[in-house]
């Protein structure tokens, strides 16, 4: 009957009139007022947000809001502020000598941090996050440098690359003594044995003796008579037990047989010259620079 109210005997609460299975009644329990007030407040807040801030997508744009707020503009301003803060440091890096930079603790810290960021972004995929290198990719923490380990030499290597498309790139190619028929298998095995003897790893003195003759004829022009390499040619030191492609007999044989021609991209034009300088100083500071 319209207007008739029914109350649950157990709880005393008003029912809605809905009954299931004959005796299950639905109670009419309204939401708490505090909950409703919160709901109403959020509705009001959302309307205000839609009016004040960017909110609704349109066909080719979006509602801008009365405040004209844009997260993109906030980020752009933060970047601009960061560049203004860095500007004096970058100018100092570009204008000062390496010795002057090193003598300024604050500037050197800026260079290390900036160089580390550049290294992580551009160099770590090949040289490793710790610059430890991998097979075929030089370790930048040691004292072995193909093209020189001074800051200036490192900077030039970064700028021009190795066998890159830059006009001033470092060029140095090791002949394919086996593939091109310059040496036979016996000679390659002998010269590999001699190369191992330079770092005390030879196990066959007779082979090493024969290999010394081959080395003098075929290898000394680039690696030097003592096998300690020639920086100007990018020829590695073979007497220091530091191996770019592995120091086992088979590794050395493979290097002699097929030659080696590793490549490094030229970073000039890809990253800022000041960033290249910071990167060179950072690499040098890792401990292996000359």
Is 264 a known ligand-binding residue? Answer: yes
Average pLDDT, the chain: 93
- Per-residue confidence (pLDDT) for residue 16, from 0 to 100: 84
| Cβ–Cβ under 8 Å, residues 267 and 122 | yes
| Cβ–Cβ under 8 Å, residues 189 and 203 | no
Count Cβ atoms within 10 A of the Cβ of residue 191 and give its class: 0-12 exposed, 13-18 middle, 19 or more buried.
Answer: buried
Which has the minimum average pLDDT: 21-25, 70-74, 141-145, 159-163? 21-25
What region, left, alpha or beta, does residue 246 occupy, with left being phi > 0 and alpha being psi -120 to 50 degrees? left
Percent of the chain scored above 70 by pLDDT? 98
Give the pLDDT confidence of 12-46 residue by residue, as tens digits: 788 888 888 878 888 888 889 999 999 999 999 99
- Per-residue confidence (pLDDT) for residue 158, from 0 to 100: 97
Mean predicted confidence (pLDDT) in 115-138:
95
- Per-residue confidence (pLDDT) for residue 2, from 0 to 100: 52
- Per-residue confidence (pLDDT) for residue 6, from 0 to 100: 82
Is 278 a known ligand-binding residue? Answer: no
- Per-residue confidence (pLDDT) for residue 17, from 0 to 100: 81
Q: Is the pTM of this model over 0.95?
A: no
Is 108 a known ligand-binding residue? Answer: no
Q: Assign 1 a pLDDT band (cuts: 50, 70, 90).
A: very low
Is 123 a known ligand-binding residue? Answer: yes
Cα 109 to chain centroid distance, Å, stands at 19
- Per-residue confidence (pLDDT) for residue 143, from 0 to 100: 83
Task: Please report the domains of the chain, with CATH numbers, ordered by start residue.
Answer: 79-168+265-287 (1.10.760.10), 185-258 (1.10.760.10)
**Radius of gyration over alpha carbons of the chain, in Å?**
36
Give the pLDDT confidence of 180-207 residue by residue, as tens digits: 999 999 999 999 999 999 999 999 999 9
Task: Evaluate if residue 4 carries a pLDDT over 80.
Answer: no
- Per-residue confidence (pLDDT) for residue 241, from 0 to 100: 86
Give the pLDDT confidence of 224-258 residue by residue, as tens digits: 999 999 999 999 999 998 999 999 999 999 999 99
Which has the minimum average pLDDT: 59-73, 116-130, 148-162? 59-73
Is 166 a known ligand-binding residue? Answer: no
Count of alpha carbons within 13 angstroms of residue 71, beta-carbon side? 3
- Per-residue confidence (pLDDT) for residue 117, from 0 to 100: 96
- Per-residue confidence (pLDDT) for residue 110, from 0 to 100: 96
Encode burial over 43-57: b for 16+ CB neighbours within 10 A, e otherwise.
eeeeeeeeeebbeee
Is 263 a known ligand-binding residue? Answer: no
């Amino acid at each position: 009957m319209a207007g008739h109210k029914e109350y649950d005997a157990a709880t005393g609460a008003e029912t809605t009139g809905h009954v299931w299975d004959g005796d299950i009644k639905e109670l009419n329990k309204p939401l708490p007022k505090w909950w409703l007030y919160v709901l109403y407040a959020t509705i009001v807040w959302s309307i205000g947000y839609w009016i004040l801030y960017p909110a609704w997508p349109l066909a080719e744009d979006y509602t801008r809001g009365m405040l004209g707020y844009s997260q993109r503009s906030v980020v752009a301003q933060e970047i601009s502020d960061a560049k203004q803060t860095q500007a004096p440091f970058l100018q100092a890096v570009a204008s000062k000598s390496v010795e002057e930079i090193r003598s300024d603790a604050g500037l050197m810290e800026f260079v290390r941090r900036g160089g580390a960021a550049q290294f992580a972004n551009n160099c770590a995929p090949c040289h490793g996050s710790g610059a430890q290198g991998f097979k075929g990719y030089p370790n930048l923490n040691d004292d072995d440098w193909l093209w020189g380990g001074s800051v200036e030499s490192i900077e030039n290597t970064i700028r021009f690359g190795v066998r890159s498309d830059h006009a001033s790139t470092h060029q140095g190619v090791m002949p394919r003594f086996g593939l091109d028929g310059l040496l036979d298998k016996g000679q390659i095995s002998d010269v590999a044995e001699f190369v191992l003897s330079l770092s005390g790893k030879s196990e066959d003195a007779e082979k090493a003796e024969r290999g010394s003759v081959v080395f003098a004829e075929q290898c000394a022009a680039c690696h030097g008579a003592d096998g300690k390499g020639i920086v100007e040619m990018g020829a590695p030191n073979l007497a220091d037990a530091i191996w770019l492609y592995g120091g086992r007999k088979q590794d050395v044989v493979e290097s002699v047989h097929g030659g080696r021609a590793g490549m490094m991209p030229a970073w000039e034009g890809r990253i800022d010259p000041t960033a290249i300088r910071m990167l060179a100083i950072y690499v040098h500071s890792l401990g292996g620079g000359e």
